[in-house]
Amino acid sequence: MNYIPVIYYHSIAPQKNSYWFRNWLTLEQKYFEIHLKYFKEKGHQCLFLDEYFQLRDTNEKGKYVVLTFDDGYLDNYIYVYPLLKKYGFKGTIFVNPDFVDEKSTPRKTLSDYWDNKASLKDIDNWGFLNWEEMREMEKSGTIYIQSHTMTHTKHFVSDKLVDFHHPGADSLYYIGNKFPERKPYYITDPEFEKLVTYGYPVFEQKSSVIARKVDINPSFNHSIIQSFKDVDWSLPYDFKSLYAKVRNICDDYKKNDEIIEHIESEADYKKRVYNELKNSKEILETNLDKKVNFLSWPHGDNNEFAHKTALDLGYKATTLGNSQSYDGSKNRIPPRIGLSGVRDSKLLTRLKTHYKVQSYFKNFPYYHFNKIYYKTRYGLKID
């Protein structure tokens, strides 16, 4: 088998957005460019996933890499697209149609800045891709758009209370489920977190494709929120003290089994997952006039039912994610490598990149050290 590393990223920008509660998904542009320079200097060629599967089981010699980007962030158009063209590389972006921006005009990019057609301020935008931007990138031959499911959400799955909605909370999923039309704009929408009342109970969540979702009793939610009507939400958030304030309400509802109003049936779960995968594929294919053959699972979460459903719908392969150890299956994209930056250092970032890539190739001593590290640190055995 050809050992070809598949790299994954999310957002790429000059710096993290301090106002975005999920800004840990952003890798600074300077680190990303160090990665590109490394692959360029080492003579790697970038592959799309179709090309990856054609070469994987051959003996053809060469240095290859697959670059993938999850979620379809606008910065993939503004920064990633021009940088890939600059280095002669190409990448795959996994997109959720629910998050596609409705704007019809492409935004300014790093290329416009290089050509003195825009300032850095002009290109400092946050959000998600629109269809015109995706069509442009596809037409260039630099970017390959594929599916990341339809909704990229999570659902409540039990009556285990884990949080209360509060200022700065990671509220994308439970608010996005209530207001799906606001999802493409949530990064820069100061009103997004206010769409749900502070104090709203948040329960254990799981990814949409594996969740048997539950509906919470509105009376319970109302009782909890009313109990917090005098809370000063500008003070530091403390879940334990807030929970103590409503413990009796929680205990009463739980004793009478009244927190959950409805549990999704197995049949409804399977129908919903089928539609997640089918609708995403069809919408992407219709709007981009192309075949969509590959699927990346949000959060890495999937199961055999979801994977088989994807294959039945015409996907050629899905990411392995968290489901199992990789057995070389031709309908699974192998475990992807996450690359990062190190301590604001170009040298350390390059060394870490080299270490992770060489470990993937199973080269001595990197791979052998990696096996020892995972065994010692996590108790995991890697093949």
What does R_g of the chain's alpha carbons equal in angstroms? 22
Beta-ladder partners of 92: 68, 144
- In CATH terms, the fold of domain 6-150+272-376 is TIM Barrel (3.20.20)
What pLDDT score does 213 carry? 98
* Low-confidence winner among 52-66, 102-116, 182-196, 199-213 (lowest mean pLDDT): 52-66
Residue 362: strand, helix, or coil: coil
User: What one-character DSSP code corresponds to residue 155?
Assistant: E
**Per-residue pLDDT tens over the stretch 97-154:** 999 999 999 999 999 999 999 999 999 999 999 999 999 999 999 999 999 999 999 9
What pLDDT score does 374 carry? 60
Percentage of the chain beyond pLDDT 70 is 96
pTM: 0.95
Ranges of H-type helices in the chain: 29-41, 49-56, 75, 81-87, 110-114, 131-140, 172-178, 218-227, 239-255, 266-288, 304-312, 346-360, 366-378
For 163, phi then psi, to 5°, come to -165, 170
For the cut 60, the answer to whether the pLDDT of residue 380 exceeds it is: no
What pLDDT score does 61 carry? 73
What pLDDT score does 3 carry? 80
Task: Report d(CA 292, CA 173) in Å as an integer.
Answer: 25
pLDDT confidence of 292, banded at 50, 70, 90?
Answer: very high
Task: Report d(CA 44, CA 358) in Å as an integer.
Answer: 13
What pLDDT score does 158 carry? 98
Rounded average pLDDT over 151-175: 98
Rounded average pLDDT over 364-382: 69
What pLDDT score does 369 carry? 77
What mean pLDDT, rounded, does the chain reach?
A: 94
At CA 74, angle to CA 306 and CA 147, rounded to 5?
A: 20
For the cut 70, the answer to whether the pLDDT of residue 90 exceeds it is: yes
**Per-residue pLDDT tens over the stretch 16-38:** 999 999 999 999 999 999 999 99
Task: Report d(CA 323, CA 217) in Å as an integer.
Answer: 32
For the cut 80, the answer to whether the pLDDT of residue 378 exceeds it is: no
Contact by Cβ (8 Å): 332, 294: no
* Low-confidence winner among 76-85, 117-126, 176-185, 348-357 (lowest mean pLDDT): 348-357
For the cut 90, the answer to whether the pLDDT of residue 45 exceeds it is: yes
What pLDDT score does 381 carry? 61
**Per-residue pLDDT tens over the stretch 295-307:** 999 999 999 999 9
User: What one-character DSSP code corresponds to residue 71?
Assistant: S
For the cut 90, the answer to whether the pLDDT of residue 49 exceeds it is: yes
Which residue type occupies 361? F
For the cut 60, the answer to whether the pLDDT of residue 2 exceeds it is: yes
Residues in Cβ contact with 140 at an 8 Å cutoff, skipping those fewer than 6 apart: 81, 85
**Per-residue pLDDT tens over the stretch 322-370:** 866 677 788 999 889 999 999 899 999 999 999 998 888 778 787 777 7
For 314, the token pair is 């015409």
Please report, for the chain, the start and end positions of each structural domain, with discontinuous segments joined by +: 6-150+272-376, 155-262
Task: Report d(CA 358, CA 363) in Å as an integer.
Answer: 6
Contact by Cβ (8 Å): 126, 208: no
Contact by Cβ (8 Å): 85, 67: no
Task: Report d(CA 146, CA 281) in Å as an integer.
Answer: 8
What pLDDT score does 373 carry? 65
